[in-house]
Amino acid sequence: MVIMRPLAVLRHDLPASLVVFLVAVPLSLGIALASGAPVAAGLVAAVVGGIVAGALGGSALQVSGPAAGLTVVMYETIQTFGWAVTCAITVAAGACQILLGLSRIARAALAISPAIVHGMLAGIGVTIVLGQLHVILGGKAQSSAVENVAALPAQIVAHHDSATIVGLITIGLLLIWPKLPAAVRKVPGPLAAIAVATGVSVVFGMTLPRVDLPGDLLNIHLVPQLPDGGWGGFALAVITIALIASVESLLSAVAVDKMHTGPRANLDRELVGQGAANMLSGALGGLPVTGVIVRSSTNVASGAKTRVSAVLHGVWVLLFVVLLAGLIESIPLAALAGLLVHVGAKLVNPGHMKTVLAHGDLPVYLLTLGGVVVFDLLTGVLAGIGLAVVLMLRRTVWSGIHVEREGDDWRVVVEGVLTFLSVPRLSKVLGTIPGGVTVRLELVVDYLDHAAFESLHTWQQAHERAGGTVEVDEVGHPWFGNGKDGRPTRHRSAARAVPRWLAPWSEWQAAEGVDIPAQQTRRGATEFHRRAAPLLKDTLSGLADGQRPRTLFITCGDSRIVPNLITTSGPGDLFTIRNIGNLVPPGQADASMNASIEYAVGVLGVEEIVVCGHSSCGAMAALADGPPPGPLSTWLAHAEPSAHRLGSATLDGELPDRKGDRLALHNVLQQLDHLREYPSVAAAESAGRLQLTAMYFHVGEAQVYLFDAVERTYRPAGAPVVVPGA
């Protein structure tokens, strides 16, 4: 296996590297020409980018080399400083990239919205397709996507020669290749398409443009030179190239991560690798190096598995161009154009558009795409980031403000973040409320700034002076209440109040002056109607015609025990029986308990029965001390077996201090024994259809414990519990 694994990797990486190499050579030459640099500078950058950045970078499948995103900047730099000084600028830019990588700030690229990354990919894809269609149709790509669009109609209606045939053969093979038998598909589609198209063009003697290499590829004869002056412009050029190259490389690495399921990129390491490649490329007279999405996507699509493919592609550029230039020069440019059209079209992924549309980020996607196509990669990405920030701010500061009438009273609900940006709309809504009426102001806000507080407070005072009444109900942190008390909360990190459906009435109704039991019940029901009912309506609608609970939950009637709270369950989950002391009378002595158990097991078919005791149980304390004569004493007679039970049950390995708590632990286990006296329970348990669970709730610690039958101790929920026979 140790020997076969490298062979298996090379089976993928070797052919993929050849495909990427075939794409890289013409692209490198074209970028060098577009940048105004020596043609060989593009090949030097391709070699160094493939080998150095491929070996040292943090993205295993990213392929680096000269990139189209820097052509405009490089052209201006070369025209200003000359080629030798530009090489020195490239070296310095690489050093800056290494410093950026070592400072560990590259991870900030992960904060970029996926809509921007997908929009960038789509924009690059559209740009590639628009340019390479001209080559397929027998013409030449224009200098910009806009010019390519303008010239495309005339190119389409023009006379089409053999270039079109070769391009269409390449595209056709790429489209049908995935549908061919697996044995055929062992050869990568792009490599097969280029080979077939080239073979056809040679066999039929087609006269058409082919890859053109200069005769003195390695005849550079220069080293980087520092400028005689103008150091400010030199520094600006260094920073500009370093930033653009870094952003393009990081965005490409993030995009490549979305194309495969292998290891994720280490972005800090990627910057260091890119910086090292740029320092060497500049020193050897090459163009700046970046991660290139075209080569990287081709690498992934061709089946590459490791960084070996990127490194080998650089080796092929060096060896094949020098040793086998004639073979490369037989490849028609139209065949490479067909390959690039296929690659570019795949970058425009309809699935990505559906995803960003579902998340409400389609405007960001489209703006990024349009910016890349119409202007350049950096402009498109910056435009997308700008719009994403605007949308984020809008969503962050959004406030839901609405008003409704309830008879003669009015109800105003404010939700979200309430800041100065929402004050105009807030004032408009509050201005629609007539004077002299009772208003219930419900604040469900995550943050309330000074301007919003002043607006609310001023309106409240004015409304009350006019004879009206304002009842303020804050759900969550008391932003408004604290402000009125002269203790305004200054940070959004303020402690959140316990949600009302978890907090007792005393914690959220006391502030409203509700202390009469009937009022508390009515207020709680109203709160359910307003807050919880809309959330539970669909769930309860599904339960309207019957119940299918999976658990019978037997617990004490103590008001501190809330079964659904301590088990994080909801409507339809628990069939609950409550009584004093969570008792199952022995000998099936209680008709009500008998009916409940038989119904739960026989009719509802529950899969679990839980008996839950708790700390500070009044029934267990009375049983331990001897209950006073009366109904309680009569009922607790059913617990006498628990009082006489001898055992070693502990709470997480220790005995509770109070006798009543120790008794509560054994009482739960005793009730499980009583349950097993029921024929239906015993039969279901022996058949594996029913599980009996002992639970204990420590009120003061808010901790649920489950009984471990092997260790004979109650362990905190979440700790491993040994099940006998498992």
CB count within 10 Å of CB 6 equals: 12
CA distances (Å), origin 393, targets 314, 368, 397, 451, 496: 44, 18, 6, 18, 22
Single-letter amino acid code for the residue at 159: H
Q: How far apart are CA 523 and CA 184, in angstroms?
A: 73
Strand 551-556 relative to strand 574-579, pairing: parallel
Q: In the numeric block, which tokens belong to residue 494?
A: 């303020």
Place of tokens 């607790």: 636
Q: How far apart are CA 585 and CA 657, in angstroms?
A: 27
Three-state DSSP state, 473: strand
Three-state DSSP state, 682: helix
CB count within 10 Å of CB 9 equals: 15
Query: E strands along 202-317, which residues?
Result: 290-291
Residues with a known catalytic role = 556, 558, 560, 614, 617
Kindly write down the DSSP assignment for every residue of 257-289, as one continuous string: HTT-SSPPP-HHHHHHHHHHHHHHHHHTT----
Q: How far apart are CA 335 and CA 168, in angstroms?
A: 8
Q: How far apart are CA 470 and CA 364, in angstroms?
A: 42
Task: Work out the widest C-alpha separation in the chain, in whole angstroms.
Answer: 114
Kindly write down the DSSP assignment for every residue of 546-581, as one continuous string: ----SEEEEEE--TT--HHHHTT--TTTEEEEEETT
Residue 548, burial from CB neighbour count under 10 angstroms (0-12, 13-18, 19+)? exposed
Burial state string for 57-85 with b = 16 or more CB within 10 A and e = fewer than 16: bbbbbbbbbbbbbbbbbbeebbeebebeb
Q: How far apart are CA 25 and CA 321, in angstroms?
A: 8
Name the residue among 564, 664, 583 with its Cα closest to residue 617.
Answer: 664
Q: In the numeric block, which tokens belong to residue 555?
A: 């617990």
Q: How many CA atoms lie within 13 A of 187 on its CB side?
A: 13
Q: How many CA atoms lie within 13 A of 354 on its CB side?
A: 3
**Are the CB atoms for 101 and 269 separated by under 8 Å?**
yes
Q: In the numeric block, which tokens belong to residue 163?
A: 């270039």
Q: How far apart are CA 525 and CA 540, in angstroms?
A: 16
Place of tokens 């024929």: 679
Single-letter amino acid code for the residue at 59: S
CB count within 10 Å of CB 398 equals: 15
**Are the CB atoms for 534 and 444 separated by under 8 Å?**
no
**Are the CB atoms for 88 and 225 separated by under 8 Å?**
yes
Q: Cα-Cα-Cα-Cα dihedral of 633, 634, 636, 642, to 10°?
A: 120
